[in-house]
Structure 1
C-alpha cells in the first residue's frame, strides 16, 4: 500500500563555496572613464546650467575638501602660503591717503599727512582695529587671503562700537544654504543672501554659533545688513553669489597623485621583502566525500618569520620563495605630468609651486617671476576693491564724524576718500635691469619721476624735497672744499 512505502530521503544539496570578492576602486575608476562623456566634468545638464545651483548643492562638500587639503596635503599647504606671499606679502598692502581737493600743494600735503598718521595709529593697533584684539591691518590681510584660498570666500563685518570702527572675520560655514525662499516684498534669499530684483545684496543670513559645542544652529539666524559686510571672493561667472575654493579644480588630480605615490611606496616595501608558499606533494589521490560535500577550500596561512628562524616542514611539504619586482616604473614621468596639470589648475607655475630651483635657468626664473607677478596683481586688485577700499571709507567717515580737529567737510567726501593702495614690491632677480628700464622710460618721456616714486611706494613730494636738500648740501660741501683748496694754493710760499 502507498502508506507502507518507504519515504525517500532527500540527498543533501551540494554547496558551492565561493570566495568573496570586494569591489575594486580601480575597476570603478576605469568603468567611469569608459562610460563618462569627455566634456561632462562631473556636472549634469541641470547642475551645470547655473553656477548658483551648483554652489547650492556642492559648496559645503567643496569647502570641507579644501580645508582638509590645506591642513594635510603639502600641495594645498604650499599653494596657500604662495598665494598669501604673492597677493599680500609679509608687510601687507599699505594705504596712503591722497586727497584731491582744490587746494595748494602745501595744504594737500598737510591733510594727507594728518590722515595717514591717524589711519596708521588705528590700523596697526590690534586692540582698536579688530573686535577680538588679535589682528592688525597687515595680519588681517594675510588671514583673509588664507581664508579665501581654503573656503573660496571670506566675510568681513565692519562694526561701529562706541564710535570706533572694528573688524570681524566671519566663518563662511555660518552662511548656510537651506533657507532659499521668495519673500513677500518681492525680494528673495539665495545661498544665504537676500537680494532685490536687481540681484543686489540686501542682507546676509548668518546662523548662530555655539562657542561651547562648536556647532551652528541652522534654524536661528543673525540678519546682517549688506552695508556691514565685505564679501571677498573671485567670481568666475557673472552673477555668481558665492566663491569656490581654488583647490576644487585640481581635487581629482591631487587625489590621483596621492594614490599613485602610496602605491609606489607600497610597491617599494613589497619589493624589499620576500614571500613564500608551501607545496604539498602527497601521493594520496583518494577523494574524500562526506555527505555529498566536497571540501575544496585550500587553507591559507600567513606567517612572519623573524631573522634567523629555523623551522621544520611536514611530510611531503616543500617551501618556495617569491621575490617580487617593482611594478611602478615611470613614477617620475607620471608625477611630472600630474604636477604640470595641477599647476595649470591653480594658475601658478610649477617652479613656484614646488619651490624647486633644480635645472632652472636664470631666464626661466625671470619669466616665472613675471608670470607670477601678473597673476597675483589680479588678485590684489580684487582685495583692494572689495575689502580695503570699503574699510578705509568706513574709517574716514567715522573719523570725520567724531574728530572735530580734522575740520573737513562731508560735502568734499568723494575727494577726501581718495587714497593709494601700495602693494609690497617683490624682490627682483635682476634689480639693475629693472632700474635701467625705469631710466629708459624716464628718458623717453613715458614716465615721470613722481610716477616712478609712487610705484616704489614712496611719497613723491617728500622724496623730491630730500633729493633737492642733498644736492644743495653737496654743492655747499664742494664749494667749501674748492675755497679751501684755493686758499691753500695762494698761501703756499714760492720756492727758491
Structure 2
C-alpha cells in the first residue's frame, strides 16, 4: 500500500504541473551542478549527441546552388555558435526537461543573414501573474482547436533574478519564432520534465553512502589504539580509567597496566562491497539515459571488446534517435528561417533557390563514432562494398561526412599524386586479411 500510495490518474499536463516541474528543475540543477557523476554524464551525452555540430547537405538538382548554400549556412552557423547552442539545449533537457530558442534578428552577427537563435530557460515561458490556465492556454502556451501552439508568453526577466517583480512584464511570441525542444513521454504532454528525474533519489543514495563510508573511515582513523583486557569482570587486573587517553611517544616501548593489552583500531571501511555498490547505483542512474556504465563512469576496466560493443549499440541507437528529433524540431526550422531571410537579400541566393515554393530537399550529417578496432571495421567496410550491401553514401554518413565532398577531395589527391609521380593507394587492390576475418568471427562467437 505504501509503495503504490503515490500512484494517480492525473493527465500528462496535470501530473507535470508548474509546481512539479519547478521542483524537479531545482533538484536536477542542484545535482548536475554539485555531483561530479551527474555533471560528467550530462556533458558526455551532449557531446555525443551534438558533437562538433551538424553539417548540411542540400539535395536540390542545382549542384552549384547546393554547394553555395552549404558553405554559407556553415559560415552562419559558425558566426552564431550553433554547435555550442545545440549542446546547451541538450544539457538543458537533462536538467530542466526542455529548452526554448527564440528566432531573432542580430545585426552584430558577422554574416549576410542576420538571423540569430537566442536561448531562454524554461522558467521564463510561463503564464503571467493572475492569468488562469485553461484548456487552450496552459503554462504560457496558447493552443488552437487542433492542439497546435499559437503563441508563447515569455517573461522579460528570469523569475530567479533578484530584479524580478510579481508584476513582471512579458512578451507574446508567435509559435513560428519559438523552438521548443523536449521529449514527449505521454500523449497530451506539452512541457518536458528533466531526463534524470528517475535517477534523482539514486544520486542522493550514492552521496549518502559515500559520506557514511567516509565518516566511518575517519572515525576509525581518529583512534590510534585501544586498551582492552581479557580478564573477567572483577578479575585479576589493575584498575584503569575507561576512555582515558594515553600519550604515546614515537619509537617507544610502553608497559600496560597489569591484565591490560594494547591493540590498534582495524579499519573496516571502505568494505569490499563499496565499489560494487557504487557501480550498481551508477549503472541504474545511467539506464534512464540509455547510457552504458563504462560511458557514465568513464571506466572500461571491467569490459572486454565484445561486451563493450554490445553495450554501445543501444547507446548509439538512442543517440541517432535524438539526433533525428533535434534535426526535425530545431535544425529544419532553422534552415527554413535562414532561407527565408536569405531570399530577402537581393542577389544573395542563386536563382534556382529564390522562391519559397520550392521544396529544398536536404539532410544533416553528424559526427561519426570511432570504431574500437579500425582495422576490423575497414575490412568489414570493404567486404560490404564488394558485396553491394552498402553504398559509399552510407559508409561516409556513418562517419559524419559527405560522400560527394570526400570523393572530390580524394580525386584531387589522386590526380596530384599521379602528377608528382607518386603511387596512389586506391590503385592497389588488396585482399581482405584472413587474420582480421578470423578475429571478427571470434568476437562474434564471444558476443553470442
Question: The TM-score by the shorter chain falls in which range?
Answer: 0.7 to 0.9
After TM superposition, the score normalised by the length of structure 1 is: 0.69
Query: What does 1:338-357 correspond to in 2, within 5 Å?
Result: 338-357=281-300
> Partner of 1:45: helix, strand, or coil?
coil
CA distance in 1, matches of 2:38, 2:399: 32
Q: 2:212 aligns with which of 263, 274, 277?
A: 263
- Contact 1:339/1:350 (<8 A) preserved: yes
Q: 2:85 aligns with which of 136, 140, 143?
A: 140
Q: Given the superposition, is the C-alpha separation of residues 376 and 215 from structure 1 closer, same or farther in structure 2, using an over 3 Å criterion?
A: farther
The corresponding residue for 2:313 is 370
The corresponding residue for 2:8 is 45
Q: Is 1:54 matched up with 2:25? A: no
Q: Given the superposition, is the C-alpha separation of residues 155 and 439 from structure 1 closer, same or farther in structure 2, using an over 3 Å criterion?
A: same
Greater radius of gyration (CA): 1
- Contact 1:155/1:169 (<8 A) preserved: yes
Q: Given the superposition, is the C-alpha separation of residues 214 and 169 from structure 1 closer, same or farther in structure 2, using an over 3 Å criterion?
A: farther
Q: 2:121 aligns with which of 171, 178, 187?
A: 171
Aligned-CA RMSD value: 3.4
Q: Is 1:223 matched up with 2:166? A: no
CA distance in 2, matches of 1:322, 1:469: 75
Q: 1:99 aligns with which of 59, 71, 77?
A: 59
Q: Is 1:84 matched up with 2:33? A: no
> How far has the Cα of 1:83 moved from its partner?
0.6
Query: What does 1:296-335 correspond to in 2, within 5 Å?
Result: 326=268, 329=271, 330-335=273-278
Q: Is 1:244 matched up with 2:231? A: no
> How far has the Cα of 1:338 moved from its partner?
2.0
- Contact 1:202/1:225 (<8 A) preserved: yes
For residues 42-96 of structure 1, give each alpha carbon's deviation from its aligned partner in whole angstroms, at most 9, with x where no partner exists. Answer: x3424xx21211211310000001111111011210111111121011x111223
- Contact 2:12/2:187 (<8 A) preserved: no
Q: Given the superposition, is the C-alpha separation of residues 474 and 155 from structure 1 closer, same or farther in structure 2, using an over 3 Å criterion?
A: closer
The corresponding residue for 2:151 is 203
> Which residues of structure 2 form unaligned runs of 5+?
108-112, 228-242, 250-261, 424-448
For residues 245-303 of structure 1, give each alpha carbon's deviation from its aligned partner in whole angstroms, at most 9, with x where no partner exists. Answer: 122111111111111111111111222234999xxxxxxxxxxxxxxxxxxxxxxxxx9
Q: Is 1:122 matched up with 2:122? A: no
> How far has the Cα of 1:215 moved from its partner?
4.4
The corresponding residue for 1:281 is none
The corresponding residue for 2:304 is 361
> How far has the Cα of 1:221 moved from its partner?
2.2
> How far has the Cα of 1:405 moved from its partner?
3.8
After TM superposition, the score normalised by the length of structure 2 is: 0.76
The corresponding residue for 1:153 is 98
Q: Given the superposition, is the C-alpha separation of residues 77 and 391 from structure 1 closer, same or farther in structure 2, using an over 3 Å criterion?
A: same
For residues 166-208 of structure 1, give each alpha carbon's deviation from its aligned partner in whole angstroms, at most 9, with x where no partner exists. Answer: 110012111235666467xxx7211221111221111111223
Alignment length (residue pairs): 386
Q: Given the superposition, is the C-alpha separation of residues 179 and 196 from structure 1 closer, same or farther in structure 2, using an over 3 Å criterion?
A: farther
CA distance in 1, matches of 2:263, 2:389: 78
- Contact 2:365/2:401 (<8 A) preserved: no
